[in-house]
Structure 1
Amino acid sequence: MPVIDLPNVRLHVQELNPGGEETIIMVHGMFSNLAVYYFNIAPMLAKHYRVVLFDMKGHGMSEKVQTGYDLTSMTNDLRELMDALGIEKAHLAGYSYGGLVALKMATRFPERVDKLAIIEGPDPSEQETLTIIDTYSREFLIHYIENFADTTRLLAGKRQLEKNHRMYEFLFNETSIRSDMEGEKEFFNDPAVAAIQHETLLIYGEESNCVPSGRTLASRIPNATLVLVPGDHNVPVQQPEVVGKELEKFLEFADNLNFRFNQSILDSINHSN
């Protein structure tokens, strides 16, 4: 899909199975891009759902901007993207800082969110959060080059690394991204988080430093379920099939399909009577 012009930014968007009956929007983490889902997890979900992926501002093929990386601005972008795509309500999944964007979306615009999935959402009050994000972004790059480059892997990999390093340098040195993230330190203590009523899945790696963050969210969000899977903070890269299956199970496509089928039979019987 093309880059979509929103009121304040241009965002690069990709869709899989655009005719799907239900929609899931997936938000990547800081210093990454939509490719973290595109090659494995998104195709699994696209068997059943319309899957919408986008590069956050300053990332991937989206517009490079200097400010607006706080959660309020990020959720404004997401809401405006939903409006532009004609999506009234969607399931929402977010990884790492993208998980915090998803949580913020549920607190600000609860009517736009159906089920909520948070993958390795870090507690922004923890001093090591930025270090964790730096670490996973490097692993993401290495994994991308090793697994998704073509026969010109060496040259493509070098170009990809150089492109992403330029993106990191821009984000680190020319934007408000770090100060905006540091400004969210009290987010987990926001009463609005504890007031989230959406059915929520929390996926964390068993060896991740963010597991305490998952336990904190599980204790504060009434309808939350914490699931630990093999891996660390990089679980979407390390265990895409495991994460994809957990999301499929959470979204309960098969149960919903059977319900609609059985309901259709009952409606037909009632109508004939």
Structure 2
Amino acid sequence: MPIITVNHKQVHIQELNKGAEQAVVLIHGMFSNLSIYYFNIAPMLAKHFHVVMYDLKSHGMSERFIDGYDLESMSSDLLALMDVLNLKKVHLAGYSFGGLIALKTALKAPDLVSQLVVIEAPDPQDEKARNIIDEYSKEFLEHYVANFTDTTKVQMGKRQMEKNHRMYEFLFEKTSIKADMIREKHFLSEANFSGLHIPTLLLYGAESNCRPTGEWLKTQITESELELIPGDHNVPIQEPVRIAETIVHFLSQSLSNPLTQNHG
């Protein structure tokens, strides 16, 4: 498992099709890891692009840290990773909180982002994610894994469950994650999207509680399009093939030899 050093931090990454003309960096959400892309979405994107995935700090196999979960820090981590990997300009795709990281990075360094894909980015004012932190228990994790995180359709073993439980306990009890998320409550309402001229695809579940945020972003980002996918907030798990095909179709316009088939 490749572990690289970025700003004195150990970061777990995975890359596919490194020789491709263009790169796509995939950002997972809070309380997840890069596996949400690895088994289904990333291989489809890798038929056309250099795909880069990484575990956010204290997630997956990346090093644990007690602070730095605000969007400014997370965006800085991403830009530093791109620098280490010598990625001059990339497509960014982020899911859930990763979508907010992608938006923050595009606003912060627009010259480094070719196209943007925002998947189910929530309104940070929504209390639901912070309630998860308050209500967390091992039983909650077992229920969550059984219902929402089965990306491989393989039952999670006891050892992996214990490992994930320790990670969640660390995140929720030892870090500044909740305080940092609260500090970002007004990120969307305070961001200036009028100057963001990056082609943006907004992917949201048709039945998702985050759908109004996607519809609002469509009114704020000039060069954006909104596509609704059957499902709720967990659409990358529910419809990974549809998500991958839609992203490929959107990004293909930037390739030297654009795809001609309809990916629906």
Check whether TM > 0.5.
yes
- Cα pair 1:92 1:117 within 8 Å, conserved: yes
* Aligned equivalent of 1:147, options 148, 152, 172: 152
CA distance in 1, matches of 2:250, 2:233: 20
Rg comparison, structure with higher value: 1
Instruction: Give per-residue Cα distances to partners, 1:113-153, cap 9 Å, x unaligned.
Output: 1100000000101223435799998777336558354xxx5
1:229 aligns with 2:233: no
Partner of 1:73: 73
Classify 1:258/1:196 alpha carbon distance in 2 versus 1 (closer, same or farther; 3 Å). closer
Q: Give 4+ residue runs of structure 1 displaced > 6 Å after superposition.
A: 132-140
- Residues 11 and 55 of structure 1 are in contact (CA less than 8 Å); yes or no, is this contact kept in structure 2? yes
Correspondence for 1:220:
220
Tell me how far apart the structure 2 counterparts of residues 254 and 7 of structure 1 sit (CA, whole Å). 31
Instruction: Find the counterpart in structure 1 of residue 4 from structure 2.
Output: 4
Say which SS state the counterpart of residue 208 (structure 1) adopts.
coil
C-alpha distance in 1, partners of 2:230/2:236? Answer: 11
Q: Counterpart in 2 of 1:207?
A: 207
TM-score computed with the length of structure 2 as normaliser: 0.89
TM-fit CA distance, 1:19: 0.7
Going from structure 1 to structure 2, the CA distance change for 1:60 and 1:146 (only over 3 Å counts) comes to closer
Q: Distance in 2 between matches of 1:4 and 1:21?
A: 23
The equivalent of 1:18 in structure 2 is: 18
Who is 1:54 aligned against? 54
Structure 1 residue 179: Cα displacement: 0.8
Cα distance in 2 for partners of 1:77, 1:26 equals 14
Q: Take 2:177 and 2:203, find their aligned partners in 1: how far apart are those partners?
A: 25
In 1, the alpha carbon distance for the partners of 2:192 and 2:254 equals: 32
Aligned to 1:41: 41
Asked whether the 8 Å contact 1:193–1:221 carries over to 2, the reply is yes
Distance in 1 separating the partners of 2:118 and 2:142: 21
What's the TM-score, normalizing by structure 1? 0.86
Deviates more, 1:228-237 or 1:126-135: 126-135
**SS of equivalent to 1:63:** coil
Once the two structures are overlaid, the 10-residue window that deviates more, 51-60 or 250-259, is: 250-259
> Percentage identity across aligned positions?
48
**Greater percentage in helix:** 1
Whether the aligned pair in 1 keeps the contact of 2:92 and 2:115 (CA below 8 Å) is yes
Shift of the 233–216 alpha-carbon distance from structure 1 to 2, 3 Å rule, reads: same
* Contact 1:95–1:121 (Cα < 8 Å) also in 2: yes
> Does the 8 A contact of 1:145 with 1:160 survive in 2?
no
Q: Deviations over 1:189-232 (max 9, x none)?
A: 12433421100000000111000111111111111111111110
> Which segment is superposed worse, 156-165 or 128-137?
128-137
Task: Check 1:219–1:169 CA distance in 2 against 1; reply closer, same or farther (3 A cut).
Answer: same
| Map of 2:262 onto structure 1 | none
1:52-107 CA-partner distances (Å, limit 9, x unpaired): 00000010000000000000000111011001001010000000000000000001
Change (3 A) 1:127 1:60: same
State the number of aligned residues: 254
Cα 1:76/1:113, change in 2 over 3 Å:
same
